[in-house]
Amino acid sequence: MKTLLKTVLIALRNLNRQKRRTFLLGGAIAFGITIVTLINGFAGSFVENVSENFSNILAGHIFVQGVEKTADGKEQWRIADDDILLEIVAEQEMPVTFVSKRSEFTGALIFQGESIRQTVVGVDWDEERYLRERLVLLDGEFENMLATNDRGERNGIILTETIAEALNVELGERIIARMRTIAGQQNVGEFVLAGVSYDPGLFGQLSAYADLSYVNELLTLQPKQYQTLGIFLTDLGLIDQEADQYFEELSRRVNVFERNTEEEGENPVEALFEQADEETWSGVRYRLFTLNDVLSEVDEIVRLLNGAALVILLVLFVIIMVGITNTFRMIMYERVKEIGTMRALGMQRERVQILFLLEAFLLAMGGVLFGLVVAGIIMLIMSQIFLGLDSAIFILLKNGYFTFAVRPLQVAMNAGIVAGLTILAAFIPSRKAALMPPVDALRA
């Protein structure tokens, strides 16, 4: 133990003797680790941020839809009575922050010769206060959504700036919507532009928002009916567990679509919707899906990001390894006499090799440590910059800020890879140094 400590001290002294070289080699390692840690950190928070932002767009973490099938095989989405659905939420004591009730249609919005296809989501503006905090209005006010026309309809609509520009429509102007009722019949809505929202343009354009009562009227749903119940939980991490429990209870009480029927590589929500295409039933049948089901592809993106980070790490370190091998070969030639002296004084071959390898290991660990500190500082600085809720990459941010989540296991793995590769790079020169006959070394 004492000998090892001594060897460590000698290794540290050797590194200290060539400060510039140590700094450059350690710096290269640190640079690699910084880049990889930043990517890992970004990927780590990617799922959480995207999930949270999507939960705001979709208005929930767990979703329940009522589907009826007519005699001729057509589907009608409708939740006519949500007593049981809400009862289960209460009975299960689910950690819920908010419950949303929404209906929507996709149709053509028409304004003075221009026509564009758009999904219009009906929102209960009296209840869904949180949407006002999330939706960035560039023009107009949310209060406009509460105004009624002469028929008593709340027919305000909020369009994204992209759609408003495409239609060339301005605040207060009348927009026609050609759409279909839940039975598939043609219907016409008449909206007034109440607001223009920021369009992040990422992951597709956002929906237009209108009042639930008017959307229901156009869909021929009754005032208290709606199409999708969205349940917001207190924590994203609880989604799967709570959804499973909710589904178990729901399936005991009402007719439900089976979950997890997707084939390899298939999106779970798509599989759920296909069931409705293929099967027949009478009355209302409920389908339950979660935000994780909707975003199942996001996990794939994270896997890709982490895979890319690993490839970057390996490529960087293969380059660094070449540098380390050459440097240690140089070190060996520089220290030939020193090695000869040590060997003449009785130092064993193994210890000479261990000394070289320890130098490489300490260099690697120093670089890793420095790289992690630099990465930490960069993350800290980046996470303090407010990019705004209307940022082009808002979907990747948390409330307008970058966030990073670095998993200790991933850091340990990266450090292990770096240490392993550095030791491997130094192995041949160190072995050469160890095998050098002391007489030849002293004569050199």
Partner 1 sequence: MKRLIYTSILIAALTVLTPVWVAAEDPDFDSILREIDDLANFSESDFSAVYTIISERPGEEREVTQARLFRRDLNDQFLILILQPDVQRGQGYLQVDENVWFYDPESRKFERTTIRENIQNSDAQNADLDQSSFSSDYTVQSWQEGTLGSFDVYVVDLEARSSDVAYDQVRLWIRQDQTIVLKEEDFSVNGRLMRTVLYPRYERVGSKIIPKQVLIVDELNDGERTQLTMTDATIQTIPDSVFSKAYLERVSN
The answer to whether 390 and 397 have CB atoms below 8 angstroms apart is no
The answer to whether 418 and 367 have CB atoms below 8 angstroms apart is yes
Q: Closest separation between CB of residue 80 and partner 1, Å? A: 16
Half-sphere exposure in the Cβ direction for 434 (13 Å, CA): 16
> Which x/- pattern over 315-354 shows residues binding partner 1 (rule: CB under 8 A)?
----------------------------------------
CA–CA distances in Å: residue 4 to residues 7, 11, 38, 243: 5, 10, 35, 56
CA–CA distances in Å: residue 189 to residues 112, 184, 236: 15, 15, 37
Q: Closest separation between CB of residue 222 and partner 1, Å? A: 14
325: amino acid identity, one letter: T
Q: Closest separation between CB of residue 92 and partner 1, Å? A: 36
Nearer to partner 1 (CB atom), residue 149 or residue 220:
220
Nearer to partner 1 (CB atom), residue 188 or residue 315:
188
> How do beta strands 156-160 and 186-197 pair?
parallel
- Work out whether 150 is an interface residue with partner 1 (CB under 8 A): no
Nearer to partner 1 (CB atom), residue 190 or residue 240:
190
> Which x/- pattern over 244-283 shows residues binding partner 1 (rule: CB under 8 A)?
---------------------------------x------
C-alpha to C-alpha distance for 43 and 337, rounded to whole angstroms: 50
Nearer to partner 1 (CB atom), residue 18 or residue 119:
119
C-alpha to C-alpha distance for 254 and 248, rounded to whole angstroms: 10
Near partner 1 by CB under 8 A: residue from 84, 147, 183, 435? 183
Near partner 1 by CB under 8 A: residue from 72, 83, 263, 264? 72
C-alpha to C-alpha distance for 66 and 255, rounded to whole angstroms: 10
Q: Closest separation between CB of residue 185 and partner 1, Å? A: 5
> Maximum CA pair distance of the chain?
106
**Residue length of the chain:** 444
Near partner 1 by CB under 8 A: residue from 176, 238, 254, 256? 176
Paired residues of 256 in beta bridges? 286
- Site residues (vs partner 1, CB under 8 A): 72-74, 110, 112-115, 176, 178, 180-181, 183-188, 217-218, 220, 277
